[in-house]
Structures are given as structure tokens and as C-alpha cells.
Structure 1
Amino acid sequence: MSHISSIATGTSVLVMAKGDDVAVALRDLVPGETIDLPDGVLTVVAAVPSGHKIALGHVDAGVTVHKYGQSIGVATAPIERGEHVHSHNLGMDLGARVHEFGTVHTELPVPTERRTFDGYRRADGRAGTRNYIAILTTVNCSGTTAKLIADRFRGGVLDRFPHVDGVIALTHQSGCGLVLESEGAQMLVRTLNGYAAHPNIAGVLVLSLGCEMTPADVILSGGDLPADTLVETMSIQETGGMRATVAAGVEKILAMAEKLDERRREPIDISELVLGLNCGGSDGYSGITANPALGWASDVLVANGGTSVLAETPEIYGAEHLLTARATTREVGLKLIDRIDWWEKYIVTGGGTMDNNPSPGNKAGGITTILEKSLGAVAKAGRADLAAVYEYAEPMAVRGLGFMDTPGYDPVSVTGLVAGGATVVVFTTGRGSVFGCKPTPSIKVGTNTELFLRQGDDVDINAGRIADGTASVDEVGAEILEMIIAVASGTQTASEEFDVGQEEFVPWHIGAVT
């Protein structure tokens, strides 16, 4: 894939790689207008919306169409030069991709200065970016009670505890009727373990109903909680019902807040940050602006010894060969292929295909196939070597670039990343997302300026300036990196200002419920 550093102001179309069959329209193109290209004049045959693709030459039906120097599908009808290329004439390429292992290595620039953020040093040595109290529920039956307790701390109640970031109720839709040895139950327990032990959570109240399959001791036993995490457990049945539990829970959390408010931030090297990479509501600009800029920031963090983890397995499908080539070992690459194979079987059992992934919004924004979406999405991972592959919610213990197996559904994906230890998330969006995340702050990067002007209250950084020709990928990448450090030090993101992120805790639910 090409690395776009900057786009000239006034450019009408962008060719992503030499030999591509399509270019991306950087503005709405109208029939009859002409565009000067190195190989001659391109006459627009049909209207091409901004962010969509225009054909650079004739393509016969059944022939592969290339963008980013890679296949994004097969022509389902003859395509003429200057024609709009989208769902009406481009379909999925089902051909197998060739996977190499460890054949691509990039030496990242060695940092000339050490950078720090102001974080919370936990007893186990890890570094937190927030100081939260969490109510973890063992089962859906205790969810409402947990929310009632957390609601008591809204509206300024915590003002006398300025060093406590908040009280969050982390509720879910499972916990009963599970076979604890099953894949689904183990995934839920692993997720809850990860949140209980998270460095951004300093106090935990585990709230159970009292008769579920996932009791409190299971949630606390496998999480390797830092020794300085304050822990309380309550059973609604044993406490005397909802009203009594809410009253008792409030008292327990107030006592935690008194102690946790004494904790202070301190300078910590950015090598101890764990960055989660995610995207949602992608469009034709995602692979041109926000994702490559985030990839730049990710590379700098990795070069500094930090950890950065890509996710959303269905949204790297068709581009996974670019990651396996960067794997540090054959075993790492094969583990990624194993997760791809699992997804292919999983999707078939649900009656779908991997190409079901591009949403109507993705397609309206110019993305046609999952191959095209994945090639743009993988740019978030920059150019670093792939050092590790994790299962969902598995602790992300290897420094460098990693990949976690998650669905493409944003709340489920980010829940897995946070359970694995992500202390900051950067979330790119083209169509416009209002996603937030607690206890980990989520920085949202918009892919186009029109989105930023329309929905700027929800977006922290406008990467659309790259497509406008007013900023380079490196410049926006540096802006993202500076915001990662600032947010890790306590600066609030747009979603935090709106108090968004509690409802976005959504563990991945698979398997039978008896």
C-alpha cells in the first residue's frame, strides 16, 4: 500500500497506488467535466460522489479491480474510463490471498527524546490514565440495581472527590444459564476479569443477584487485580433486595471515593501506554486520511516501546496478508490466519458471508466490498511489525503492535480491547459516530471536513484536512499523538464531556444459553 504524505490543494481525484484501476473522488464529480491526469485527460462519464471511486480505464467483466495496489473486487459488468465504480458494477473477489510470514520488516525511527504522560502508577507496576470506581455485574439480573447505584453519583455528587473520575455501572446481557467451561462463558469471565484488573479502575464493587452461574469469586479470582484496587462484593438476595442494596452500595462507594481521592498522577514514560485502535462508520476517506494518520501515531508509540493493538477481524479480512507478512514469527502469522478461518466458519453458520460487513452507511460513503474496507482499515496499524495476536479480551502483554480478534461491532470490539488492557482508544469515523468508552478515554478522529463541520461536538480531531490539502498525514498523525498524551494525562475527550461510555460496555456474546 502507498503512504500518502500530503495531497495538493485543489486535487480532484487521488490514485492510491501505481497500477490502480480506480481513483478516489475528493469532491463531487459531475458528468462531462474533465480532469488532467499524468496519462491524459479523464472525462467523467457519470456522477461520482465525493469519497467514491472513478474508473481510470476500461475493465472487462470478471476482471479484478485494484485500489491501494490490491484487489478490492471483481467487475460484475464492463466498466469504462470515467465511470462511477461501486456496487452496481463491482462485486466480491473470492480468490484466495497468498500469505507470507515475516517477509516485510520496517525499521521505525528511534526516538530522539523520551516523552511522558501524567498517569496513575498502580501497585502491579502498570500505568492508568483514569481513576474510576466500577460496579461490575455478574449477571444481567443485577444490572438495573447497579445503574441505580451509579446514578446516585451523577449531578455533582463527586465534586468533593476531584481526583475520582467517576462511578460506572458495567452491565451486560448474560451470566445465567451458561456452562462455565464453554467458549462463551470463558469469554465473558475473561472480559469481566480484565475490567476488574484494569489500571484505569481503582475501586471495584462486584454486584451479584445471588444464584447465577458466574459468581463474584469467579470474576475476581482470575483477574490478577493490583494490590491497591479496593474491592467490595454484594449480593442482592443476601442484602435484602434492590432498595437495601442501592443504599448499601452507595455507602460502600463513598467510602472507596474517600480513599481513592488521595491518589495523584505522576510522570510516566509513554512506553507504558496501551493504545486501542478502532474505527466505525467508515467511508471512502477512512483509508486516505484518519486511518493512515492514526497509523503514523501508532508507529511512533511503538518506536517508543509502547503497545498498540488493532482489532475487528471481519474488517481486516482480505487485508490480513499484509499483516502476516509483517509478523515477527511464523507462529504469530499463523495465529492470525487461524482467527480468519474461525470467522469464515462462524459466518457461514449464521447464513452470511464476510462481504456482508460493509454497512449501508459504509456504502453510501463510497466503500463497496469488505476487501476495500479492510485495506483502508488496516492502515490504522501503521508499518510496525506484528508482534502478537490475541483472542478476545485476552491480556495484551507483548510490547509493540498487536492484533485482537474481535467483531466489527464497535462497542463489542472496544470492550475486548479495554478488557485486554487498553488505557487509551483512538476511534476513527467517516459517517459520524457518537461512540464513547469508560473507563478508557476514546479519542474520535473524523475522516472528512464535512463531517467535522456537521458533527464537530462529537469529534476531537479533523483528519479531513489531509484530503483538503491543508495538512499532511504526518502532521495530523503528530496531532493525534499529542492528543493521546494529553488525554492520557487527564484531558477530557468529546465523548467524556458528554458523559458517554457506560452503555458501550458490551461483552461479545456467543454460544448457547440453557
Structure 2
Amino acid sequence: MIEPIGDWLRLDSADDVAISLRDIDAGAHVVLNGAPIPVLDPIPRGHKVALRPLARLTPIVKYGQIIGHAAADIAAGEHVHLHNVTVLPVQRTEARPTRNPSPDDSRLPNTFHGFRNHGRRSGTRNAIGVLATVNCSADVVRAVVAETRRRILPDHPSVDGVFAITHSGGCGMPVDGRTHIYLRRCLIGAAMNPNVAGVIIIGLGCEVMDGGAVRDAAQMAGIPAIQIGIQEIGGTGRAIRAGVEAAAGLIATANARRRQRVPISDLIIGTQCGGSDAYSGITANPLLGRAGDLLISRGASWALAETPETYGAEHLLTARATSREVADRLLAMMRRWEREVAATGASLDNNPAPGNKAGGLTTIYEKALGAVAKAGSTPLQNVLEYGEAITKPGLTFMDSPGLDDVSTTGLVAGGCNLVAFTTGRGSCLSMNPIPVVKIASTTELYNRMRDDMDFDAGRLITGWDMDEAAYTLAMQIIRVASGDQTAGERQGLGDHTFAPWDVGPTL
């Protein structure tokens, strides 16, 4: 249980700072060990106040971990933020593979109601995908989807939707370069996602990205897949008509499918955070991690991504890797990010966005230590490259940028059939055909963006028991997996967020 002291929250007895629970005026007091400390500056809600004097270059501790260093002498009671904090290299504890017991709750069921697939995980949705191999075919794809939704979908109630997979690439890239590899993984992974009952692949005909590779991979997995080339068929009008005709046949077949009891072990749940604030690492992220522990205890797969947003907290993951090899893969990934970002003249500490900083997050270390809480406490089973298939039960780490749509696209390509998304400032990301459960870090956000939020983690601040909240969230995830719509689905969102990682060059 989170236990505030008046208007302040201290997360660990070793912390040098406390977090304000409301806007605090200068002249107020924060109490430490019974002794009042005068507050010297106005402290915005969610921001930090120094609990003791901190000399220049002294490490600053929050969560019991170093989040940065004092850029100048900081007095007790002073606002601790961008003006007096810097980031210096930190020597974290050496990775030591350990095994943590998985929490359990006997009330949690072993099944959900999903669409059973042969030879792959069950779907939480029953949808038809229309996929563009190249941006040149994106307009045709969108026209096929719009016409199919208008004319055909209403008569097929068992089909959850027809969705477009369009993007800005597909050509002008080195063959078998990283961008090509990532795009191929994302398109094949999206076509083979458990929530896809059939797919139409539409290309121009002369692009780098080969639609035949997507078609063949889907068909080998037993997924009905139809390929259309705009040049070959004779232009956009004929391609649209052929696409709608193909969609009608796929929808008729998919409409015969029904939800049935399937094991929780068929769930592959991706985690994401966006628009984070200081409360994200206190309420929503730890809560989601605890709910993940419960679902993992029933055999589910749980994926953490956003490599730059775990930078400085990777030691918390490597310390529970199942092997030295798994730990070393994650560390090598971090070192690669350091090199590649440095080569551009930037720093990984550039990751926190203006909104993160306005919400009280000062450094990438602070953001990462809160973000990594989404991983819960179970062993790290695997470390994957962007968009690779998630095959192991338990916790997996996937390399991705922190950009929400790009990271979520990688998780969808990896096979996630549901995404759980925490936010502190507010996010409206959705991505068809994957339900995205939005978890607000504060009750204020939940009420302000009620049409976009699915779960209020802010109640933890006012005394809700963490274990009970985790069970409640895990049950809501199961209900969504079984067909309950998310806030984004109710609003019809998610058509324009598929964004494979483009690392360049564009030729």
C-alpha cells in the first residue's frame, strides 16, 4: 500500500527527495523523521523536494536508486528539477542471474474467451487485415477498408473489424538493411498476429518490400492471404474492387468463428507507457507489473519494450535474467544504443519529453526506474530484437524506441494480442486490431480524459491495496481479451498508428 505523509510521498527510506501530492507553496513544511523541513520554493504537484542538503555532484536517490546528480549545491527544502540536476555515468550493480517466485492469486481464472487458432496463440479479436507493402498502395488499402466497412461488415456481427495496415515506407531503402528487415518483420508479424483471421496484401508492384513474402508466411501459418498488385491488375480502381471482393470472402469465412474458452497461456500482453509523469512510476507502472505477475502465473507471455526508457534501470532486469546469456544480450543492446545515439550528437537523457518534465520527471534514469516497474518481478526469460516473435511464456524484453506508435507496432509484430498502456499526462494511442487498455496514473487524469481511459490507478494514492488493485486490473485485462471493448475501440480509434521503425537511410 502507498502511504503518503501529509502532502508528500517518500518512496524509499534511502531517498533524498519526496514527491508532492499537490501544488505546494514556499513556506510550507515537509516532515522527515518528525522534524519539519521548510519548503524554500514552490513545488508543483508530482515534483521533488530535497529532504537533506546535497552538495554539487552528489548522487540524488529516489526509488532507492540514483536518478541523477546535483548540478549545484542543493539545500534541504529546495525544488529538485532541471535547473539543479544533471546526469553523470552511474556504475550499477553487476548483473547476477536470480530467480524470483511468481506471485499468485487463487481467484484468477485459467481461461479467457478467445478465438482459437490452429498452430498459433488464440486471438482476442477476430479481424481482417488489409496491408500495404508500400506507401504507394496506402490510398488503395484505405479505400478497400472504407468500402468494406460500409457495404459488407455490418452483416457479419462475429467479425470485430476490417483494419488498414499502412505506413510511410516500403521502398527507397537498402535491400536487407535494418529498415527493410524491420518492415518485413512488422508486416509479416501483423499478418500473422493472433487477432487476424485473414489478410489482403496490396502493393504497387515495383517496390523493395516483397508482398509475396508476407503472403507466403501467412499461408504457411494457415492464415488465408490474398495478394493484389496495382500495376498488374490494371490500376487503382480495379485494385479497390478486387480488394473489396477479396475482403467479402474472408469476412464470410471469419464470421463463422465463435469465441470459446482458451487458456490464459494464449495471451501475449505487450506493455507500453506514454505521456508519463512522476506518478506513473508510483502507481500505474508498478500496478501493471503486479498484474503481469499474476497473469504470468497462469502461463501468459508479458513483454516490456522501449529500450531508451529502461536505460539506467537495466540492472533491475539483468539481476533476474534466467541466464548470463539473456542478461548479456540486454546489456549489449544498451551499449549499442549508447553508441548509435552518441554518433548523432545526442544523449539518451534527451528521451524525457517536455510533458514528462512538466509532470515532474527530471532525468532518463528517473523515468526508466519508474518505467521498468511494468516488468513486474518474475524472471527475465528472453531478449528479442525489434518485431521478433514472442514465443516464451513469462517476461520478454523487446528492443524498440520509446516512441509509442513505433514501439507498439513492434509488439504487435511480435504477436501481442493485447497491449496494456500506462499514462500520466494522457495518451490516446490505439492500434487495430489489438485492444489497448489505458491505465491512468492519477484519478485526476482518469476523470479529465474519461473517454480515453480504461483504469484508474490513482486510487492507490488514497489507500487502495496494491494486491487487490492488481487482481482487479488483471481481471479487466481478461475481460477485454474476452471481448469487452476498450475506450479507444468504443471511439473507433486505431487506424493510423501502425509505424514500423525506420532507421534510414532513405535512398
Give the TM-score category using the shorter length.
Answer: over 0.9
Comparing 175-184 with 199-208, greater Cα deviation is found at 175-184
Comparing 236-245 with 171-180, greater Cα deviation is found at 171-180
Q: Does the residue aligned with 1:121 lie in a helix, a strand or coil? A: coil
Amino acid across the alignment from 2:261: P
Q: How does 1:30-49 map to 2 (within 5 A)?
A: 30-49=25-44
Comparing 151-160 with 211-220, greater Cα deviation is found at 151-160
Deviation at 1:407, TM superposition (A): 0.2
Deviation at 1:39, TM superposition (A): 4.5
Comparing 185-194 with 218-227, greater Cα deviation is found at 218-227
Match of 1:226 in 2: 221
- Deviation track 1:115-168 (CA, whole Å, cap 9, x = no partner) reads 211001101142110011101111111011101111113458522111111111
Amino acid across the alignment from 1:199: P
Q: Does the residue aligned with 2:450 lie in a helix, a strand or coil? A: helix
Correspondence 1:414 to 2:408: yes
Match of 1:434 in 2: 428
Match of 2:302 in 1: 308
Q: Does the residue aligned with 2:112 lie in a helix, a strand or coil? A: strand
- Cα distance in 1 for residues equivalent to 2:441 and 2:252: 42
CA RMSD of aligned residues (A): 1.5
The question of whether the paired residues in 1 share the 8 Å contact of 2:55 and 2:73 is answered with yes
- Cα distance in 1 for residues equivalent to 2:202 and 2:451: 35
Deviation at 1:350, TM superposition (A): 2.1
Deviation at 1:180, TM superposition (A): 2.5
Q: How does 1:58-207 map to 2 (within 5 A)?
A: 58-102=53-97, 104-110=98-104, 112=106, 114-154=109-149, 157-207=152-202
Amino acid across the alignment from 1:118: H
Q: TM-score, normalised by structure 1?
A: 0.96
Identical residues among aligned pairs (%): 44
- Cα distance in 1 for residues equivalent to 2:43 and 2:147: 52
Correspondence 1:262 to 2:229: no
- Cα distance in 2 for residues equivalent to 1:144 and 1:130: 25
Is there any run of 5+ residues in structure 2 with no aligned partner, and where?
none
Match of 1:505 in 2: 498
Match of 1:344 in 2: 338
- Deviation track 1:292-344 (CA, whole Å, cap 9, x = no partner) reads 10011000111111110100000000000110001000000000011111111
Q: TM-score, normalised by structure 2?
A: 0.97
Correspondence 1:288 to 2:287: no
- Cα distance in 1 for residues equivalent to 2:374 and 2:151: 38
Q: Does the residue aligned with 2:506 lie in a helix, a strand or coil? A: coil
Deviation at 1:221, TM superposition (A): 3.4
Q: 1:33 to 1:110 in 2, by over 3 A?
A: closer
Deviation at 1:111, TM superposition (A): 5.2
Amino acid across the alignment from 1:293: L
Amino acid across the alignment from 1:510: V
Comparing 307-316 with 249-258, greater Cα deviation is found at 249-258
- Cα distance in 1 for residues equivalent to 2:122 and 2:220: 13
Q: Does the residue aligned with 1:42 lie in a helix, a strand or coil? A: strand
Match of 1:475 in 2: 468
Amino acid across the alignment from 2:448: R
Match of 1:212 in 2: 207
- Cα distance in 2 for residues equivalent to 1:224 and 1:180: 24
- Cα distance in 1 for residues equivalent to 2:42 and 2:88: 25
Is there any run of 5+ residues in structure 1 with no aligned partner, and where?
none
- Deviation track 1:232-264 (CA, whole Å, cap 9, x = no partner) reads 110111111111211121111011111110000
Match of 1:487 in 2: 480
Q: How does 1:300-449 map to 2 (within 5 A)?
A: 300-449=294-443
Match of 2:456 in 1: 462
Q: Number of residue pairs matched? A: 506
The question of whether the paired residues in 1 share the 8 Å contact of 2:148 and 2:247 is answered with no
- Cα distance in 2 for residues equivalent to 1:207 and 1:420: 22
The question of whether the paired residues in 2 share the 8 Å contact of 1:71 and 1:93 is answered with no
- Cα distance in 2 for residues equivalent to 1:29 and 1:283: 17
Deviation at 1:441, TM superposition (A): 0.5
Comparing 113-122 with 348-357, greater Cα deviation is found at 113-122
Which of the numbers 25, 34, 45 marks the counterpart of 1:50?
45
